[in-house]
Structure 1
Amino acid sequence: MLERYEVIENVKPGGMGVTYKAFDKNLERNVLIKNIKDELLQGHQEKHLKGLFKDEALIQARLSHNNIAQVYDYFENDGVSHIVFELVDGKTLDELELFSNLENKEQKLNEILSALLQIAEGISYAHLNGIIHRDIKLNNIMYNESTETIKIIDFGIARVKEAIQRDHTAAFMLTKLYAAPERLGRYEVDTQEKFDIYSFGVVCFQVLTGELPYMLDWDTKPVPSVNSNREDINEDVNEALISMIQPNPKERIGDLNALIKALKRQINQSEIPSFKVESPNTTNKIRDPIHGYIGLTNEEREIVDHPIFQRLRRIKQLSTTYLVYPGATHDRFSHSLGVMHVATRIFDELINKNAEKLSWDPNTINKNRQVLRLVALLHDIGHAPFSHVGDSFFPPGISNHEKMAAHLIRNTQLANLIDSIGKKLGFSHKEIAGIIEGKLISKYRLINQIFASQLDADKMDYLLRDSMMLGVSYGNFDLDHLIRSLNVNMDEGIPVLVIEKMGIQVVEELILARYFMFVQVYFHKTRRIYDQILTNILREYLPSQMIPSEEGEFLKWDDFKVLELIKNVKTSYNDMYLGRKHLKLVYEKFPYASDEEKQKLNSLHKKLELLKYPADKLIIDEYQQSSIRFSDEEGRPLIGVREKNGEVHSIEEYSSILASMKEPIYLFRVYAAEEIIEEIELILQEELS
């Protein structure tokens, strides 16, 4: 074995190779190492199989989910390929009586359902990332009984098994009783995700009934039902499982969302007497790359179809970032839908968990749910062209895009559309506008926290969306686990958003993701200079250097109009933008600066301004991003962690990582035209030496 890994013991020989428990000397942790037997490669396409083994390791290493065993490394030693995995503490499901021996009807049903939910969320996460397991069965799923945590193992190994099996059928036969029928030639393949969905359906059926649904007799046996064997599984779970084990893949569901929702509902309903959230008929579906299908009611669709909301299709989410990351062409339209979807998921999770604690009747629940959906949907309609680039051009009395959104809601047809929804539930457009612009905080405290806080739906969507569209991994975090970890605590009778202790790590993940996206993407030196150039362009073209607030004029100003003006008028700024010929970075202080350094840079800033160079020759970019706030003005935690005894403490008491992130991100950059760079550099030396 390489010097990095010290073998502790041979865990078990397998059909493919040997599994070792080892110690990683570099990172000082125990790991699991798997390899392929040399003899399996003899007479085969050895190079192809080793390449496949390596490719699968690289693909799996991208997965970061609480219920999937992580791939840490790949290496070759003496011609043998090895994959290094996270060492999982626990046993496989077939080794545990809880999952394999169900003759005792007094089993812990909720514990089993919670385990199945974790498996479903792990598989769903992998599928969203384009990765298929191909060998879901009891002995590829591990469970830690003390923490009640699932880990799916051997992602990617099955594909290599399949490749070897072509010539070694006897040694490497897929477990037929778990394999989807189309893999055995009974039906045409539909999607590969349905391989895993069928196999997981078999696992669920076996765990819940003690029997397999089929013995390769799909052609002669009707699709079995869990409820034929037991009476304590609700109909939604039963229907989802029936859909998962349909022999014909064309009749099988294509994702696990229905099962996940059904399992959550049964788990929550069995723990507490839950209110039924009356979810309106969201028959209008919009396909989203992050969240799958996003549903809209007919009334919500009328709002989405309004020209003010449709304008968001022509407002880039990340302004000029597409000049650095070509994939950053997504818009505020899709983000707004995503925020509504995530906010609704959070709300439903909190209500299902807290029926007994909340004093809301069904009408109050449905009212608050609809208010939240509209606030989340409409929060960005007031953005200027190119999003935050235009933040300095709002007219007097409308200081930011939130106030512009509130203004548009109050003074356009949107008011009537919102009132037609609200009159049934007891709210008006005035409340939607007020919440968006930061008012009515005490009346709608929980809604505000879901919509605009350190743990809000806005951040959850834009981090995942921006990360995916740009092709970077900085913004990724486990959304499903984060939502499951949220809860409510009562503060003098008012529900307040908190995080359970099990969610501390995923909150760290979210906040670190935001930090990395700011440092690596949002404050990228090239993106920032084009933001500055575009700001100067808008200053030239906007009437009275202001975004119009009248509906008709406001609708005219979008990214398309600005780009058209840039193309049709020849100026130095326009040439820079169209030709991507920006000023050059001469000096940078980023991402932190001491107070003493900031004083020096402030003096430098003033001296450079005295040179009176035009902005197409010299641009100074100075900005400070506020640090994480852990408490409000009254000392209440902004990210509260709830203990089992009900006490709530600030997350900084539990996380040394977050507690250390109190310093604001600071940037000071000087950009100059080629002909003045030497002069600027001399001044920099004099001022900063």
Structure 2
Amino acid sequence: MDDSFEVFGERGGKTINDPIHGHYTLPDYAFQMIDTPQFQRLRDLKQLGTSYYVFPGAVHHRFEHCLGVARLANKMISQIRHKQPELQVTDREEKLVTLAGLCHDLGHGPFSHAFEEWLLMYKGIKWHHEDMSKTMLSHMIDENQIDMEQEDINFLKQLITGKERESTREKQFLFDIVANMRNSIDVDKFDYLARDCLFSGIKSSYDWARLVHHCRVIEDEICFNAKEVYNIYEMFHTRYSMHKRVYTHRVVKSIEFMISDALTLADPYLNISSAIEDPAEFTLLSDSILKTIETSKDPNLKESRDIISKIRKRQLYGSAGEVLVPPNQHEDITSVRVEDIIQHDSSLQPNDVIVDHVVMNYAMRDKNPVNHTHFFSKYNPNQKFLMQKEEVSLLIPNQFRESYVRIFVRDEKKVREETKGLVHGRQRLAAQRAFNKYLESRNCNPSPLRMMPDPVTKGREGVIHQRQLHF
């Protein structure tokens, strides 16, 4: 039984049974925030947004994730406090770190990160859920008359974002626990990777529990036992793998774009985007917005309802190709716009095509986060040092970022030919050919895994073969 569980047994609190962490207890002060409309809203936000439409087991929500992060944040700070009493961690610091883990995702919108992309792509609004989490935190405290000093509220907001750490006199290692801007190793990542892997059915080999257990503070920084260095690489590889296989799955992205279009068409009548300016309205905004549109009889929402109906019928936007961008062409290819594609085919209109830019990395853009992580040896636990990847394994990658450009077509008119089993989406094929011409002009080759073959091709004997194309 861990120390935090025993301590909470003495102080009170409530016990939670969780598929990731088993039985654990959160203190009473956490439930002052959990039992509010602002936090309970997280029950209506799926953790993986549109991934649920492809991975039907991914039914978990931001609510249980935030509880799990609070549990891990408390476990880590309690362990540090117990093992290193010289750090003089206070009850206040333990409480605020725990609450930072609990409240770090208060600001997520419908369908999680897809909402942020919608605001940027369709409304031109640069909006981040971390900033909204700070707004929602203040609103929650005021509306529910939670007794907190303003100084503590300000520090709690800093712990949630992980920013402004240099401008405070608080202990710096406290910022490494929930939102670690130093190397991105934090309890938020520990929980969401374990939870997302479990519910999406993806196997993971890294062990987050060892990272929580084998850490200590050296020179105001959380460091890890050197024997866990490969485990940390496995964690970042798991994150990359989840982005590649789940979060940016092409069908997930197709449905995401369809929901974005539905929100765009409904926004003038439902004022969805204006909710970010009013925390009271934002409290009422969740994944249920689709049902609000779908069940409305308002004729102004018909186009939006039609898109949602197509999602239900699996009439999705089609993928017309993708390219893995060579590192030396990253800036050139990733800046491609719709206009750059459609200029190669006069039959395409700007609204026919969607260009999707996908960037995957080890959480620090093109850098290796382990190069920013300090370790210690059991023989000298008070001396921190860096480890080069060549000291760990010769099979660790040299590149820590990859970029894709994908092309989707809306194909709203469903222009198709059906002759003797041949199904040919004209718009989709036109977009693919235009994309290929664009790539040829940049001396770049599309991915053969995402190439839709021409519906009619000649075999070796000159005989015409027809290919069934699956949408």
TM-score range, shorter chain: 0.7 to 0.9
SS at match of 2:165: coil
Check 1:396–1:597 CA distance in 2 against 1; reply closer, same or farther (3 A cut): closer
Distance in structure 2 (CA, Å) of the matches to 1:480 and 1:340: 15
Measured after TM superposition, the shift of residue 385 of structure 1 is 0.7
Q: Which residue of 2 aligns with 1:668?
A: 405
Distance in structure 2 (CA, Å) of the matches to 1:630 and 1:567: 42
Contact 1:339 1:377 in 2 (8 A): yes
Counterpart code for 1:649: L
Ranges in structure 1 where 5+ consecutive residues have no aligned partner: 1-257, 266-275
Pairing 1:136-285 to 2, within 5 Å after superposition: 258=1, 261=2, 281-285=11-15
Q: Which residue of 2 aligns with 1:448?
A: 175
Offset from partner CA, 1:334-358 (integer Å, 9 cap, x none): 00000111111221222222224x2
Measured after TM superposition, the shift of residue 296 of structure 1 is 2.4
Q: 1:573 aligns with which of 290, 293, 307?
A: 307
Distance in structure 2 (CA, Å) of the matches to 1:648 and 1:289: 36
SS at match of 2:372: coil
Measured after TM superposition, the shift of residue 603 of structure 1 is 5.0
Measured after TM superposition, the shift of residue 677 of structure 1 is 2.0
Q: Which residue of 1 aligns with 2:421?
A: none
Check 1:416–1:386 CA distance in 2 against 1; reply closer, same or farther (3 A cut): same
Distance in structure 1 (CA, Å) of the matches to 2:291 and 2:402: 31
Q: Which residue of 1 aligns with 2:73?
A: 343
Q: Which residue of 2 aligns with 1:510?
A: 235
Distance in structure 1 (CA, Å) of the matches to 2:157 and 2:334: 40
Check 1:297–1:350 CA distance in 2 against 1; reply closer, same or farther (3 A cut): closer
Deviates more, 1:342-351 or 1:646-655: 646-655
2:135 equivalent to 1:407: yes
Aligned residue pair count = 402
Q: 2:355 aligns with which of 609, 620, 627?
A: 620
Offset from partner CA, 1:631-675 (integer Å, 9 cap, x none): 99xx99531122444141145464346862543131211112323
2:418 equivalent to 1:685: no
Measured after TM superposition, the shift of residue 682 of structure 1 is 2.6
Distance in structure 1 (CA, Å) of the matches to 2:124 and 2:438: 38
Counterpart code for 2:254: I
Counterpart code for 2:153: H
Q: Which residue of 1 aligns with 2:216?
A: 487
Check 1:441–1:486 CA distance in 2 against 1; reply closer, same or farther (3 A cut): same
Q: Which residue of 1 aligns with 2:456?
A: none
Offset from partner CA, 1:207-250 (integer Å, 9 cap, x none): xxxxxxxxxxxxxxxxxxxxxxxxxxxxxxxxxxxxxxxxxxxx
Q: 1:331 aligns with which of 46, 52, 61?
A: 61
Measured after TM superposition, the shift of residue 399 of structure 1 is 2.7
Measured after TM superposition, the shift of residue 513 of structure 1 is 1.3
Distance in structure 1 (CA, Å) of the matches to 2:59 and 2:214: 32
Q: Which residue of 2 aligns with 1:428?
A: 152
TM-score (norm 1): 0.53
Contact 1:308 1:381 in 2 (8 A): yes
Check 1:671–1:631 CA distance in 2 against 1; reply closer, same or farther (3 A cut): closer
Counterpart code for 1:547: A
Distance in structure 1 (CA, Å) of the matches to 2:365 and 2:308: 43
Q: 1:388 aligns with which of 108, 113, 121?
A: 113
Offset from partner CA, 1:543-598 (integer Å, 9 cap, x none): 274433323311221101233314544324223322221122111124x5333376
Ranges in structure 2 where 5+ consecutive residues have no aligned partner: 412-424, 441-471
Counterpart code for 1:496: E
Percent identity over paired residues: 22
SS at match of 1:570: helix
SS at match of 2:216: strand
Distance in structure 1 (CA, Å) of the matches to 2:429 and 2:250: 20
TM-score (norm 2): 0.76
Check 1:652–1:547 CA distance in 2 against 1; reply closer, same or farther (3 A cut): farther
Pairing 1:582-661 to 2, within 5 Å after superposition: 582-590=316-324, 593-596=326-329, 599-600=332-333, 602=335, 605-608=338-341, 613=349, 615=351, 617-629=352-364, 638-643=372-377, 644-645=379-380, 646-650=383-387, 652=389, 654-656=391-393, 660-661=397-398
Distance in structure 2 (CA, Å) of the matches to 1:581 and 1:349: 51
Check 1:527–1:376 CA distance in 2 against 1; reply closer, same or farther (3 A cut): same
What is the CA RMSD across the aligned residues, in angstroms? 3.3
Q: Which residue of 1 aligns with 2:28?
A: 298
Distance in structure 2 (CA, Å) of the matches to 1:478 and 1:333: 23
SS at match of 2:358: strand
Q: Which residue of 2 aligns with 1:96?
A: none
Counterpart code for 2:293: L
SS at match of 2:386: strand
Check 1:636–1:476 CA distance in 2 against 1; reply closer, same or farther (3 A cut): closer
2:16 equivalent to 1:286: yes
Distance in structure 2 (CA, Å) of the matches to 1:656 and 1:605: 42
Check 1:668–1:552 CA distance in 2 against 1; reply closer, same or farther (3 A cut): same
Check 1:524–1:436 CA distance in 2 against 1; reply closer, same or farther (3 A cut): same
Flag the structure with larger Rg.
Answer: 1
